[in-house]
Chain A
Amino acid sequence: MHDVRVAGAGLTAFGHSPERTSRDLFSEATIAAFDDGGVSREDVDALLYGNFMGELSEHQGHHGPLMAEAAGVQAPATRYESACASSGTAVRDAVMRIRNGEDDVVLVGGAERMTNLGTAGATEALAIAADDLWEVRAGMTFPGAYALMAQAYFDEYGGEHEDLAHIAVKNHENALTNEKAQYQSAIEVADVLEAPPVSEPLGLYDSCPISDGAAAVVLVSDEYAAEHGLDAPVSISGTGQGGDRMALHDREFLARSPAARDAGEEAYADAGIDAGDVDVAEVHDCFTIAEVLAIEALDLESVGEGISAARDGRTTADGETPVNLSGGLKAKGHPVGATGASQIAELAALLSGDHPNSEFVPDATTGVAHNAGGTVASATVHVLEVSDQ
């Protein structure tokens, strides 16, 4: 089996740029990724591209070849759609293609244009990641779905809104030095508690923003990296994917994410590590409660304990296992199709010492990235490790 290395990565700024098309965003991210990696566009064997709502926001389907053009690569290109886990699933397939010897160089990434839809339009577009007949038509929104999980969590394991507020505060704090982040501003617990309600108990500051942005990562085989003398110290050593029933009400658990647990167990086993080896994590915190469910599913916290992790400092920058040093979706932003690939980019930078927050994890060798789709009916997990070339 061929090892897979992160040769280069590029991100646009995440934020509010309603005039920019996804092809423009993705083009910018790929230029940065190729510049970073020193890999020739001509060597790209395939483009795997994540996008969720292109039909609704841009009246555009068939993104694959369009994005290959935007990236300037002559390679077959495929769009991956798994709601907010779109580029996480693209990364997973890219890893498998390189591992099995099919490809040496894969450009993987994603983009999303969202803010041109406005809040109501984006809320509607995001909602279709849920079951249209049984959830959306009953008035369920995405914040609403996570609010149902938050309420179920409080009921089953305890905790309150103030615990969740500490997660938002932590992730804003982490984003202060991330120049790509949508929000580079500190907030306080009181700000979260006093913010307008979106879907109770979740308020405006429990929710990630609506974002435009793109991410691109160049993945290469070990052999390719050696042949071309690439500086690529981080490898993707584990990959996993889990699935669950579409509608929240059809799940066994309302306050857990079995799809993420399955994905995590598979990725840990694949990499030959366990949760205790994880030094740093980027998890899918589209809402504050989502971070709780994620770190419990990844076994970084016991079930029922994740709610207190940020409040008690276990997942803060100076904690035992920092979570979302990039600022997370909450503060970095969440252009949904770009998110999974952006987590790989942030984690690789953190592990190789190239991230503004690398100082908090100077000895880190192992990181984990968790990307969730819908109310976690889809989940991918990747293990990244610093390894000898």
Chain B
Amino acid sequence: MSDDESEVQDAGFDEWLDAAEADEAYALECPNDHGSLPPRRVCPECGATELEEVPLPGTGEIETFTVTHVPTPAFEEDAPYATAVARFGPVRVTGQVVGVNLETVENGLEVELEITVSETTGERVLGFSPI
């Protein structure tokens, strides 16, 4: 993204980050109780088009993680950092584990969402902080 375009938002995604920053993160749920993440107009599981925003639970649990030493250029100054997949109620989310000694990250760790920023680009990054 060039600086000139930095005001342009990604519809659905940036709103979700805004909501998460306000502790109001949500998932989408269809009438058949399938959870998914926005932006989405159609349930990817069953094709239902009536999607409702439901609040995400305040805490999630890490199901798998890695410590990345060779990043993309957008995270050059952030490495090494831990990336994890964590379960929050009806959805799993991928995020960077922040505010933690990397050696203590483990499966089963309880975390909450924390929107942080890339040290390299200053862009917002979906993060998890251990409770």
Q: Does A100 contact B (CB under 8 A)?
A: no
B81 touches A199 (CB 8 A): no
- Chain A, 98-149, CB within 8 A of any chain B CB: 119-121, 123-124, 127, 133-141, 143-144, 147-149
Most buried by B among A124, A133, A139: A139
Name the prevailing secondary structure of the B interface residues: strand
Q: Does B76 contact A (CB under 8 A)?
A: yes
Q: Does B42 contact A (CB under 8 A)?
A: no
A133 touches B10 (CB 8 A): yes
B73 partner residues in chain A, CB cutoff 8 A? 120-121, 123-124
Shortest Cβ gap from B96 to chain A (Å): 5
Shortest Cβ gap from A56 to chain B (Å): 12
Q: Does A151 contact B (CB under 8 A)?
A: yes
B92 touches A250 (CB 8 A): yes
Q: How many interface residues does chain B have, given as a range?
A: 35 or more
Stretch from A10-18, A169-177, A241-249 that touches the partner: A241-249
Q: Bound complex: CA of A120 vs CA of B126, how far in Å?
A: 22
A152 partner residues in chain B, CB cutoff 8 A? 63-64, 85
* Contact A141-B72, Cβ < 8 Å, known A134-B94, A148-B85, A245-B44: yes
Q: Bound complex: CA of A150 vs CA of B125, how far in Å?
A: 24
Q: Bound complex: CA of A147 vs CA of B85, how far in Å?
A: 11
The 0/1 profile, CB within 8 Å of A marked 1, for residues 50-75 of chain B is 00000000000001111111111111
Name the prevailing secondary structure of the A interface residues: helix
B67 partner residues in chain A, CB cutoff 8 A? 197, 199-200
B123 partner residues in chain A, CB cutoff 8 A? 137
Q: Bound complex: CA of A358 vs CA of B104, how far in Å?
A: 48
A139 touches B44 (CB 8 A): no
A254 partner residues in chain B, CB cutoff 8 A? 63-64, 85
B85 touches A139 (CB 8 A): no
* Contact A120-B72, Cβ < 8 Å, known A137-B126, A197-B67, A199-B67: yes
Q: Bound complex: CA of A42 vs CA of B76, how far in Å?
A: 50
Question: Closest A-chain residue to B118, C-beta based?
Answer: A139
Task: Name the contact of A250 in the complex, choosing from B36, B66, B76 (C-beta under 8 A).
Answer: B36
A residues bordering B, Cβ < 8 Å? Answer: 119-121, 123-124, 127, 133-141, 143-144, 147-152, 155, 196-202, 245, 247-250, 254
Given contacts A139-B71, A139-B125, A250-B92, 20 further A-B pairs with CB under 8 A are: A123-B71, A134-B37, A134-B94, A135-B94, A136-B72, A137-B125, A138-B96, A138-B127, A141-B68, A141-B70, A141-B72, A147-B68, A148-B83, A152-B85, A197-B67, A199-B68, A200-B69, A248-B85, A254-B63, A254-B85
B residues bordering A, Cβ < 8 Å? Answer: 10, 13, 36-37, 39, 44, 63-76, 78, 81, 83-85, 91-96, 107, 118, 123, 125-127
Closest 7 CB pairs of A and B: A147-B66, A249-B92, A152-B64, A124-B72, A200-B67, A199-B68, A199-B66
Q: Can you report 23 A-B residue pairs in the complex whose CB atoms are below 8 A from each other? A: A120-B72, A121-B73, A136-B72, A138-B83, A138-B125, A139-B74, A141-B68, A141-B70, A141-B71, A143-B70, A144-B83, A148-B64, A148-B84, A151-B64, A151-B65, A196-B69, A197-B67, A197-B69, A199-B67, A200-B66, A249-B94, A250-B36, A254-B63
